[in-house]
Amino acid sequence: MDRIRIVGGNPLNGVIPISGAKNAALPLMIASLLTSDTLTLENVPHLADVEQLLRILGNHGVDVSVNGRRERQGETYSRTIHFTCRTIVDTTAPYELVSKMRASFWVIGPLLAREGQARVSLPGGCAIGTRPVDLFIDSLQALGATMEIDGGYINATAPKGGLIGAHYTFPKVSVGATHVLMMAATLARGTTVIGNAAREPEVVDLAACLNAMGAKISGAGTSTITIEGVTSLSGARHRVLPDRIETGTYAMAVAMTGGDVILEDTDISLLENAVEALRRSGATVEPVERGFRVARNGNGIRPVDVVTEPYPGFPTDLQAQFMALMTRAQGVSHVTETIFENRFMHVQELARLGAKISLSGQTARIEGVEKLRGAPVMATDLRASVSLVIAGLAAEGETMVSRVYHLDRGFERLEEKLTRCGAVVERIRD
């Protein structure tokens, strides 16, 4: 099992190119199930989650090629991928595939919309909370679907003639359920209005792609999305938006270590709340052509309190990274997690590096320390794993991060990008 070795103490200087967003690429890939034509996606990152979803889509009959050629082993850069699903050959998403990644459950929406039926295993994914599928079930039932749970699977059936447009308001904001309901509603008869919809940029990106395919969606990016159903969708070409979580992660790494880095091929407007928190911590953040610049000179890190919230609030996917930054702040800061109930598993690992963090319910109190010291640590989930990398970059001596398969799910070429900016980071293959 691979590990990552980090020798801390070097500031980061240079340019870091930002990859396409995993959280946008996954629903965009699943949207290929909605049409028999070819959907071409540009700027798709090479990540473990993407590769797993390619296998799942292949199980349903999606033919995949990269830049006009068959998928190649060992490809390590963002790619252009062509998805063609002439016929859905299987409407079952089996446990052995879905259990490895929660987002693969989202195929239930397109399968139900296009084929009128789906049998999908209950999902897996990171162990950061229960994340029930009730919202998915309730919202698809609002479109007329019959949903039954049997033997760990959801058996979904559309009414005769297909799904029917409806008004549905989510009792709580859910990005995944918004994706699924929006995809399903594109082929429903009549108009669907989604209330309390997720407003994330990834939802806007999916809507833009679906509209390019012939859907009629308005209001994406607001809390109310309206979809006028169409009889079929066509192919399209769409570029995946930049990864705002990767962007924020590297910005926090620069703020942690000091230095001066241009984050390239990204957009500062995608994470305004996190940028404001970084500025309050003492980092310089300013837009430049094709991205933005993050810098911190020898001045100390100021403590900042943050609360995770649905977009446009502070992202839960940057909570662990920001907590790592606050371990070196000159004072006490607080991080409150409101999205997932079990997303503080990185706290004990940060403590191994010398961090002083105490928990009270869903709030972490971080007392900044003068220095961190390298130690062996273990990744527990995707975002927690990169928080340990950030802390290791600023720690004295060597930090060894194990179970880095979590990192490979969401960060493309992490070691290479950091090494180019002066960090001492290497992957050790056992």
Is residue 134 part of an annotated ligand binding site?
A: yes
Is residue 23 part of an annotated ligand binding site?
A: yes
Is residue 131 part of an annotated ligand binding site?
A: yes
| CA dist 230 → 15, 168, 227 (Å) | 44, 19, 9
- The kind and range of the H/E element at 63 are strand 63-66
Residue 397 CA to residue 8 CA, distance in Å, equals: 6
In DSSP notation, 319-361 reads HHHHHHHHTTBSSEEEEE--S-TT--TTHHHHHHTT-EEEEET
Is residue 174 part of an annotated ligand binding site?
A: yes
Is residue 150 part of an annotated ligand binding site?
A: no
Is residue 102 part of an annotated ligand binding site?
A: yes
- The SS3 call for residue 86 is coil
Residue 206 CA to residue 228 CA, distance in Å, equals: 15
Residue 421 CA to residue 126 CA, distance in Å, equals: 30
Is residue 175 part of an annotated ligand binding site?
A: yes
Q: Which two tokens stand for residue 367?
A: 């007392």
Is residue 265 part of an annotated ligand binding site?
A: no
Residue 422 CA to residue 36 CA, distance in Å, equals: 47
Do residues 364 and 304 make contact, with C-beta atoms less than 8 angstroms apart?
Answer: no
In the residue annotation, 126 being an active-site residue is answered as yes
* Catalytic residue (one of 85, 126, 209, 421): 126
Is residue 414 part of an annotated ligand binding site?
A: no
Is residue 328 part of an annotated ligand binding site?
A: no
**Cis, peptide link before residue 312, omega less than 30° from 0:** yes
H and E: helices and strands count for the chain? 14, 25
Residue 30: closest CA among 77, 64, 69: 64
Nearest 5°: the CA angle 240, 78, 325 is: 80
Neighbours of 36 (CB within 10 A): 16
Residue 372: closest CA among 328, 330, 334: 328
Do residues 187 and 163 make contact, with C-beta atoms less than 8 angstroms apart?
Answer: yes
Is residue 401 part of an annotated ligand binding site?
A: no
Is residue 260 part of an annotated ligand binding site?
A: no
The residue count of the chain comes to 430
In the annotated binding site for UDP-N-acetyl-alpha-D-glucosamine, the residues are: 102, 131-135, 172-175, 317, 339
In the annotated binding site, the residues are: 22-23, 102, 131-135, 172-175, 317, 339
In the annotated binding site for phosphoenolpyruvate, the residues are: 22-23
Catalytic residues: 126
